[in-house]
């Protein structure tokens, strides 16, 4: 990452303000710098009054850094009416932008995303590059193996503390991967770390951000029809779970055992290659081109099986987190069912987790 200089900050801030109709003049304050002072002070004269922007320049800014930046800049204010705070940095993420607004911290980044709110001036801009950069920043966090760790954390009965080595062993991933993911979670303010280990700070935001990036990873899909009645299917599926076959209801078929919202006449089931023929036999499946009522899917990651849960009737289904992610991809009806699952299952679980850990 290139170093963000004060000279670049000065040029970009002046450019952002120079063509605003209410701004009459923009200049750099050349008063003698304090031993410990702001990186830059920009004076501007507007139709509504004169103001100064007290500027902090950062090469990189993570959400967790915003409160301390705002506190630091506040110490340099001499006139609370005239002096306003501004952060200039390489990139301001959506979460950082929300925190900047919360702490009355104006911002501008090298991509020209900005929010500058003064008594007689308001500029807010989000560029298309902001969304591209945001996706790029989050992509590695929601990659297949990283997703195992996130699923384990979000599905846990307690809010940590989690150790890197324990997560690596549980999720069958490298310690290096978990360490990098841990740092990313902390940087993006999803989690925090104390002497006991890692704790999640914002499970809902993490899951919503994950859901916005999520794409189902299916290696193969086959369509079938069965004449078995629902209760007969349940009995057969219970048997596969008891025999520890790699079989797990997913999507709406899983959601009906977690947080029922709407019924689907089609069963969707994750299955591995070794267990597929067993399922075809016990469900008496006939492969067809259209009109299917059973869909068998081979997931690219077997973690969906090891993280699955057993319903009260003994049937194996994807856990609530995986089910939420999957059904979000099933169109508008799926999004509604996912919201229902989040509201009635996941949020109550997380609230209870916080209560237990308080």
Per-block mean pLDDT, blocks of 10 residues, the chain (358 long): 80 91 89 71 93 93 90 91 94 90 95 92 85 64 93 89 93 93 89 90 91 93 95 91 91 93 88 93 94 95 94 93 96 92 94 65
Contact in structure between 248 and 320 (CB atoms under 8 Å) = no
Q: What is the pLDDT of residue 358?
A: 45
Q: Structure tokens of 19? A: 């063509």
Per DSSP bridges, beta strands 197-200 and 316-317 are: unpaired
Using the 3D structure, point to which of 214, 235, 262 is the last residue of a domain: 214
97 within some domain = yes
83 and 15 co-located in one domain: yes
pLDDT at 35: 54
> Are 222 and 328 in the same domain?
yes
Q: What is the CATH number of the domain that holds 314?
A: 3.30.460
What interhelical angle do 273-282 and 230-242 show, nearest 10? 140
Tell me how far apart the alpha carbons of residues 323 and 82 are, in angstroms, rounded to a whole number: 52
Q: Is residue 341 part of a domain?
A: yes
Q: Does some domain include residue 163?
A: yes
Residue by residue, DSSP assigns 122-182 as EEEE--HHHHHHHHHHHHGGGSHHHHHHHHHHHH-SS---B-HHHHHHHHT--HHHHHHHH
Q: What is the CATH number of the domain that holds 176?
A: 1.10.10.10
Are residues 18 and 91 both part of a single domain? yes
Boundary-marking domain end, from 159, 186, 214:
214
Residue 356 lies inside a defined structural domain of this protein: no
- What's the pLDDT score for residue 223? 97
Q: Which helix (H) or strand (E) holds 240?
A: helix 230-242
**What range defines the domain where residue 268 resides?**
218-346
Radius of gyration for the chain, computed over Cα atoms and rounded to the nearest angstrom: 26
In sequence order, the β-bridge partners of residue 199 are 192
Do 271 and 339 have their domain in common?
A: yes
Q: Residue 358 domain-assigned? A: no
Structural domain includes residue 354: no
Same-domain status, 207 and 257: no
User: Residue 338 — φ and ψ, nearest 5°?
Assistant: -65, -40
Q: Are residues 223 and 183 in the same domain?
A: no
> How many domains does the chain contain in total?
3
Instruction: Specify the pLDDT at position 1.
Output: 45
The pTM (predicted TM-score) of the whole model is 0.71
- Structural domain ending residue among the three candidates 214, 237, 263: 214
151 and 257 in a single domain? The answer is no
């Amino acid at each position: 990452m290139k170093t963000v200089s004060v000279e670049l900050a000065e040029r970009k801030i002046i450019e952002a303000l120079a063509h605003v109709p209410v701004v009459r003049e923009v200049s750099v304050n050349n008063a003698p710098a304090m031993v410990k002072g702001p990186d830059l002070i920009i004076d501007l004269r507007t139709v509504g009054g004169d103001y100064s922007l007290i500027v902090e320049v950062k090469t990189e800014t993570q959400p967790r850094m915003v409160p301390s930046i705002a506190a630091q800049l506040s110490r340099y204010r001499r006139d609370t009416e005239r002096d306003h705070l501004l952060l200039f940095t390489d990139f301001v993420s959506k979460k950082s932008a929300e925190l900047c607004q919360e702490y009355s911290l104006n911002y501008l980044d090298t991509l020209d995303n900005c929010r500058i709110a003064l008594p007689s001036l308001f500029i807010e801009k989000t560029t298309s590059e902001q969304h591209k950069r945001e996706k790029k920043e989050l992509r590695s966090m929601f990659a297949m193996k990283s997703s195992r760790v996130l699923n384990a954390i979000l599905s846990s009965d307690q809010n940590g503390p989690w150790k890197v080595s324990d997560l690596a062993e549980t999720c069958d991933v490298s310690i290096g991967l978990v360490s990098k993911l841990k740092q990313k979670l902390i940087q993006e303010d999803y989690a925090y770390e104390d002497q006991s280990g890692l704790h999640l700070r914002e499970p809902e935001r993490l899951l919503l951000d994950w859901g916005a990036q999520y794409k189902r990873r299916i290696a193969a899909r086959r369509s079938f029809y069965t004449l078995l009645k629902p209760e007969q299917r349940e009995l057969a599926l219970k048997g596969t779970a008891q025999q520890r076959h790699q079989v797990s209801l997913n999507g709406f078929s899983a959601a009906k055992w977690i947080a029922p919202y709407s019924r689907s006449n089609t069963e969707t089931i994750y299955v591995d290659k070794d267990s597929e023929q067993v399922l075809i036999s016990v469900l008496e499946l006939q492969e067809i081109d259209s009109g299917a009522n059973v869909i068998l899917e081979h997931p690219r990651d077997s973690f969906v099986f090891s993280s699955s849960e057993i319903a009260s009737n003994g049937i194996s289904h994807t856990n609530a987190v995986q089910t939420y992610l999957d059904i979000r991809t099933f169109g508008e009806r799926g999004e509604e069912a996912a919201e229902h699952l989040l509201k009635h299952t996941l949020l109550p679980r997380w609230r209870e987790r916080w209560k237990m850990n308080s």
